Amino acid sequence: MMTRTGCGARPCPAPTSTAEPPISTMRTSTVFSKSASSVPLRRGVPRPGADRCSLQRNRNVTRQSRGCCYAVTVSLRSGFIAGPIDARLARWLGALAGLAALNVGLWVWIASFGTRPTPYAETQLLLSGVYVMVCGFRSLFPRVDLERVCLWDTWLSAILLGRTMATIAELCFALQCQLFVMRLSEIAGTPVVGAAAHAFVPLAIGAELVCWYAVLSLNHIFHALEESLWAVMMLLLSAACGIAALTAHGPFRSMMIAGFVVYSVGAGLTIGCDVTMYVRRWRLRAATARLTLAAGLRDTRRRRQPAGGRLTLVTGLRDCRERRHPTLAWEDWREEAPWMTLYFSVGVWTSLAMVLLEAAALRS
C-alpha cells in the first residue's frame, strides 16, 4: 500500500512492473519529506519505498510545492533477509557466533569451578553474566546505531532495543570495574588505587548519556565523546593494574601485568581508531544543521522526518524505534568489524577475568 497526501497532489500512475517492491526495514514505513535526499541511502540498502513509482512521487513533490509536506507510506514485510551473503561477512559472522558460544562456556566454567563463593566473586559473576549474555545477543544481531544499519530484518535488530540492552550491560561492566579496583586496593594494600574506584560509575553514566544523545540526534561527535570517556576508564584500570603489579607476586602479578597491557592498548586503540572514526563521520555531516527541539515537536505533530542530517530527541526516539536498514554488503560492515570483534572478545574476557581476582591472589 502506498499513499500520498499533499496540496493539489495528482495520483501517481500505477507501477508498470508487478514485481514486489524491495524489502526494507519496517512492517509499515512512513517517509515524510520535501525531497528524496532527506531519506538516508546506503550502498546495498534500498531506500524505504524506493521503487520507481515512489521515487517519481518524491520528485513530483519537490516540483509541485515547497511549503507543503507530502507523505509516502509503504507497507513492508518483516523477517530475516534471504539472499546471497558476502563470503567475508559470512566468516566474520561465524567468528562472532563462535565468540558468543565460547564466552558463555567460559562463564559457565567459572561459575562452576573457577571461583570460591565469596561476596565479591558472586557479585562479579552476576554482573559479568549480564555483560556476557548481552554481548552474545549483540554478536548474533549486530547493528550500527547512528546509521540504523543491521544484519537481520527483525524486531530483534531494532536500534532502540539493542541500545537499551547495551546500556544495561555497560553499566554492569562499570560496576564490575568499581568493585575490581576497590578489592584490588585491599589486596595490594594501595589506598591510592581505591580512591579512583568511585570514578567508574559516574564516567559510565556520562558515557551512556552522550551515547544516547548521539543515537537520537544522529550526531557522531557525541559518540566520539563517549569513546573518550571509555578511554579514560581504561587508563584508570591500566594505572590500577600497573600500581598493583609493583607489589604483587606469582600468578597475581602476571594477571596485573596482563591487565596493564590490555587496558593501555585498549585506551590507545579507542582514541586512535574509534574516536578518530567518529570525528571523521561528524565532519562529513557537519554542514547539515540540526533542528531545534521546538521544530522537532512540530515535525512529530506533522509526522515527518526533519529536513537535514540530524534529528531532535523527539523525532530521534521514534526514528530509532522504527527505522532500520538490513544489509548483507561487507562494505557496510567493514569499518565496524574491528571494534565489534575486539569488544565481543577481549572486552568480555576482561569482564570474566575480574571474577577471578581473588582466586589469582590466593595462588600467589
Instruction: Give the residue extent of every domain in the chain.
Output: 2-75, 87-362
Average pLDDT over residues 19-33: 38
Place of cell 546471497: 84
11: enclosing H helix or E strand:
none
Q: How many CB atoms lie within 10 A of CB 282?
A: 17
pLDDT above 50 (res 274): yes
| Most confident option among 56-70, 185-199, 336-350 | 336-350
pLDDT-derived band of residue 67, with 50, 70 and 90 as boundaries? Answer: very low
Nearest Cα to 222, choosing from 237, 206, 238? 206
Q: What is the pLDDT of residue 73?
A: 32
- Tell which wins on pLDDT, 305 or 92: 92
Comparing 339 with 48, the larger pLDDT belongs to: 339
DSSP state of 45: B
Contact by Cβ (8 Å): 301, 315: no
Distance CA 207, CA 104 (A): 26
Going from the C-alpha of 291 to that of each of 204, 218, 284, 299, 305, the distances in angstroms are: 28, 12, 18, 10, 11
This prediction has a pTM of: 0.74
Instruction: State yes or no: pLDDT of 62 exceeds 80.
Output: no
Number of H helices, E strands in the chain: 14, 6
Task: Name the band, by pLDDT with cuts 50, 70 and 90, for residue 280.
Answer: very high
Predicted pLDDT at 26? 39
